[in-house]
Structure 1
């Protein structure tokens, strides 16, 4: 029986795997759900921590600016006087982060400075200077109008007052922006964070890693102004997804911007394998492998063993026994014992059937033998009756009848003497039939030489009888008309040509046209025998001048095959 296309999906292995997978699926889904919850929690924490880090970094920078204010207030009373420049220079060297300390008078001219100060004729009218002149105590400016340092810096200025309270200039500290920038290694920052400072226009001033940043969103200043800080997600210059935060450092002039990795769910699970997806997935796979291995050893292996035993039984090797049944689990061992009992029952039934067939064969052979003996008795009686007759026509009719009965007796003898009670080998049968017919007439006339060419064919008795009687009529006709008082050569040929078989019986006599056109009893019987075989008959003159009787009918059988030698059954497997 042909296997169905989906048969491979209904095996025990597949069903057990599917059942176990369904049983363990909730565990796997729970692990994945826990991983997703953990990822979301860590993402929220990262966003919160980055926002706090930005605010703390901004607070640290503002504290630095306030320290600069206190420093300027402390230096104010003694910043103008003898060795002013030297004292300011010593301060800038001792306190890192200051690029310059400058004292301006009320007109914006340099009164004292720790370093070089760029010339600026418009200083007195600069917005930051005007703010101090108008009474503002502290001004911080990112764009003071002139480059007061070679590196990015911010200017912090404190108002200087005369003893009578009038505006007396300004004390300015030029603070390097890098000193306000948080360190990327600061423990308060998330892992793998990068730091940058940006101005109010969104342009980056300093960056620890330019590839880790991207253009600031359009509404970032409004959010930092209203919320104190802003956190958002975006992709950096390399296309990697990151989380960003921004907070003001110096009023609305300078902002600190932090950038940290924003891992996806799979990358987070890769970084957290035990608490993520790997552990439940590994548990799922190990459970499947363990159950499949146990199933293979406990169930599948023995079922395959019993399947091989059953296949041997199907081929007739019923003496094989499952000798390894003692090692099987009890349930499968019971199945093996049942299979062994079934084999014993089949062996017993086969033995009984063979005995019955042997008795039937013996009975059929006895019947064929007795029928053959009875036909021989009838033939002998006819022979005795033929001898007592004086009329030649009567004697010839009696001889023809006796020969027909002899042919039928020969069929029954071939059946009970042959190996098969239902089929007869045609070649030896025609040889013996021809020999009996020719030998019987040689006692009363000249000798006849026979040539036989018969293809091998096994035929059943129902078709053999009309074929044999046709041959009897053809050979008898040749003996009467072709070989009488002269002898000759009789040729018997049987050929199998595809779907048709052809029997030809030829003599080398001199046949007249009347003999070919005659419609006697023999010709009528030959036509009747051809119809029984669903064939046709022809009576024609051959090349030697004699008559050829030809019988053409459908191929009744196949060429005989040698019986295959079958090995005996093995004792065990």
Structure 2
């Protein structure tokens, strides 16, 4: 008993209550005037407490749904590999369901509505299901409830993720979570706080309910529909239920933009004795009010403001230097603020751990991408070696010339992959850096003495995606090879001139210009002639870049110009999945 009293005396509530009780006892009779203000504050506190309890109660559903979304996205990314492997996937998905705690079904539904690959029910037709029609009309991630699942024949929460291949919708992947495993009994939270909890999706469809899916309607707020409660942040309000009970409601985004939780508990207020009046003089209440103000200020300053400022300083230190310093408690620091300090310490350590894991994941992804480019380059170099053997054995000059052209193009592709793994990051490529390296390799492979030509080059700092870098590099390789092939001295005694420029045009476009001087013996207005294959390839590469390729010629030089749009990069940070109300 003494231990419990001692622990209670360490709390902020007990200390402020004890100090204010001593200070406010002489003027307690006039507290009735502040009743409505206190009631309003009690309502706000109830709403705040309900938001915290709702978030706690919805945590298991949030974890399961996030896990389901992650699993569905993983399976969606595996669909092309499974198809290339002959759809031998039933064993893999069955093992996935058996090893995953809580999932009852996983499968891929093709465009025609049949289950093409699944842990069970493969080959069944789902085209009559609402989820199939919804995904066909608007392919996006959906979280919905199915009372009678086609395969498991149970009530499940279904997560559907579209399969996008080359920018086109190609069916969807579903993962099912049975209601029996998804919901945690609310009596594990707190027996003295009767909480009703439902979760619903962004289509205002109820997913789970602590009272069961058949008993939801009477317990919803009377003046709000679920479609009105798709809050981006936490929110709370007081309203009557549709069966006439006054309750406090709180809305928590479980998965922002996808799933929300609506919690409610009974609204109650402390009753005050009516009819009390104050007959004291004005001076006494004013004097006591001053005393109370001084006592309250001292209490709050010593027990709240100072520890809060210390916590804020440590937070700022962590934000600026990622350094975590141990707290130094004073004897007057309440238990709640000490718990807050400990919670923040755990949060900061979790942030550092998550950041380290994120950096490690990015590094592994970058290494894997570079390894892929490296292996592709090695394979292409093997093909070049085989072509070299064929060239040496060929007797027909036309065959040797054709094989030599093929060899040059394969070598160009190999150089592209070599430069991609040497110069690129996982998602961005500096086009100027890449083209400069490719130009250097190409010129040195064709011209033995680089001093025999006048070489001019300039490259703006332009960043592109790897999907743009590959056709851009191949197009430049073709244009540069053609320019070197037809490079000539403009007049007797002068060096041939080769010019290469990469420029940004405005804010959204870029231009590559490759010019070669023409021989003085070339008839005026004649452009270099060839088989036309190289220009056809350049035109195809330009279409891949959503750009165009043109030629410009003068009596002194011949220029090829490639213009293409530069893709925008989203540099914004990934938003937090938790958004806090003010």
Larger Rg over CA atoms: 1
TM-score by structure 2 length? 0.45
TM-score by structure 1 length? 0.45
